Structure 1
Amino acid sequence: MNITRENIDDLNAVLKVDIAKDDYNEKVQKVLKDYRKSANIPGFRKGHVPMGLVQKQYGKAVLVDEVNKLLQDSLQKYLTEEKLDVLGNPLPKDQEDLNWDAGDYTFEFELGLAPKFEVDLQPKKAITSYTIVVDDKMVDNQITTIQKQYGKITSKQEVEKDDEVSGSFVNEEAEFEKKTMF
């Protein structure tokens, strides 16, 4: 198997994969032998089907399948070894005149290469950085605020210092009602 890369420009390349008969023949024969053992063809006992008949019936499909597997594995391995940054997947070029009866095959794939660029992360203007000094008064004030926001309301019999008291004033004659919080 031979893989060659031809760079068209900075962002495009063509991979040419040449597959020889020796690369796939052993795998195809192994799969066909397995088919022969399990093939259920009328007129023959299971496992005793002639290899020529299995070859004629399943040969081309197995060949295409094994070549496709070999092609995908070799492409993936090549892209990993060469550490190519590819955008998307390799796109196969159309080959209308592909003859599956030939022993050697040539496939071409178009690659979209990722552009190389640098990002300058230095800002044009300086960023203002504030240093906040926290003192005990600020911390106590924040704690008090959080306690008021998330505290629980409980009823007590006696009012103590720093308690919030809510009440309602009602005058039934004047039909006056006022709710307030201290």
Structure 2
Amino acid sequence: MATRARLKSQKPVTIWLTGLSGAGKSTIANALEVALTENGRHTYLLDGDNVRQGLCKDLGFSDKDREENIRRIAEVARLFVDAGLIVITAFISPFRVDRETARAIIGEGEFIEVFIDTPLPECERRDPKGLYSKARAGLIPNFTGIDSAYEAPLQPEIRLDTVQSDLVSCVKKILDYLERAGLVGPSAD
């Protein structure tokens, strides 16, 4: 891993974005990847769209399936970190124990938990895919925040309030953290 990271002139890490559906995880993850790439960083983004189509297409949304989904994602992220990449994940990952399992798989010091702290009413107001309306109508069972629990991180490395902060500020807060932690050099902006 050290040789691959040195070749890429970066320290590999997984930036694990967690929060309710509609909180802004994917939007922030995509913008963060663009910012890192523009700064010459080698990244890979894992989210529900690219993971549920292949690696986890056999899984549903029961608590057991969610646990296995997060375990598989953590194993893939660990491999990418071993390849020297900065991995960005955007998953609800509703259970603390599963996020702690992901941290253990990936490795302490190579896992940064980012809590996208957006209140449920705001997520429902945004409802980009109409999922909350369907869940409240009973059309989507086990929907996180409605009839399935979301356990907010107790001590995330980074907490982002998407009600008070815009996208640019959220991305900057992550980049600043990475720089302070010595994971990336100063941005070229």
TM-score, normalised on structure 1?
Answer: 0.28
Higher helix share: 2
Structure with higher Rg: it is 1
Which of the pair has the greater relative contact order for Cα pairs under 8 Å at 6+ separation?
A: 2
TM-score, normalised on structure 2?
Answer: 0.27
